[in-house]
Amino acid sequence: MKNIGFIGMGNMAQDMVSGFIASGNVDGKSMYGFAPNQEKLAKNCKNLGINPCATVEVLVDTCDTIFIACKPYQIDDIIAQLGEKLENKSLASVAAGWNFKRFREVLPEKAKIQCTMPNSPVSVSKGVILVEEDHDWDLEERKALLRLMESVGKVVELPDRLMKAGMAISGCGPAFMDMIIEALGDAAVKNGIQRKQAYELVCQTMIGSAELQLQTGIHPGQLKDNVCSPGGTSIKGVAALEEAGLRSAFIKAIDAVVKE
């Protein structure tokens, strides 16, 4: 993986680049980006410390590993435009709705494809990266890709039939977690705590609770019970959340994404 390119330089591509550089595993000088809006591309690439490309063809000629990070509806046109230039290239998609089978129907025969789905916390090396089990990358190349991904988060391999459900959790989940942070932060401010401290309290509580479950493997229901003393404050809060339909709301949110 000498040179890494990104077709599309939106939020996800920028998050990945930031994470890769922060991990120390990739030098910005070996990464390249392309987007149609050249003015915006130049600004983003300068901020990230990577190289902008004037055309998508230049990027493909320069890079051996290429992340397809454009909008899903743009992929057909880009593949048609590039054609045989994609031969012998190792492609990694981060586009929702595209799987290995769909790519194989439109890619040149010798182009290799691996579908992935990172989430936004890869920018701070705390992400989750879903990786589809089906692929046609060379073994050593794929190992190198997974090592790169592991430098910015937890890699989880899933069969195609489970990728959408996984994406609903890890891909959409940060937005849901941010809503919790905002809501609890507002509640803290309402009760007199300064906004900055409110978010610090909420975020560290969320991080600690997650880490406790991951390290102990204890069922989250048991961890909840451990905090709830008979007649105490926590169980009263839990009862209020149950009455408001918290768990049902989260399940419905994931179902809505999966059925989309």
Please tell me the predicted confidence (pLDDT) of residue 200: 98
Helix (H, G, I), strand (E, B) or coil at 34: strand
> How many whole angstroms separate alpha carbon 19 and alpha carbon 148?
10
Q: What does the pLDDT average to over 131-146? A: 95
* Position 260 pLDDT exceeds 90: no
List the one residue out of 135, 132, 136, 80 whose CA is nearest residue 108.
80
pTM (predicted TM-score): 0.91
Please tell me the predicted confidence (pLDDT) of residue 131: 97
List the one residue out of 68, 52, 48 whose CA is nearest residue 7.
68
How close are the terminal C-alpha atoms of the chain, in Å? 35
* Position 1 pLDDT exceeds 80: no
pLDDT grade for 30, boundaries at 50, 70 and 90: very high
Residues across the chain: 260
pLDDT grade for 148, boundaries at 50, 70 and 90: very high
pLDDT grade for 35, boundaries at 50, 70 and 90: very high
pLDDT grade for 243, boundaries at 50, 70 and 90: very high
**DSSP H/E element including 153:** strand 153-158
In percent, how much of the chain has pLDDT > 70? 100
Chain mean position to CA 173: 10
Q: Which domains does the chain show, CATH number per domain?
A: 4-162 (3.40.50.720), 173-259 (1.10.3730.10)
Please tell me the predicted confidence (pLDDT) of residue 154: 97
* Position 184 pLDDT exceeds 80: yes
List the one residue out of 20, 14, 65, 60 whose CA is nearest residue 40.
14
Maximum CA extent, the chain: 69
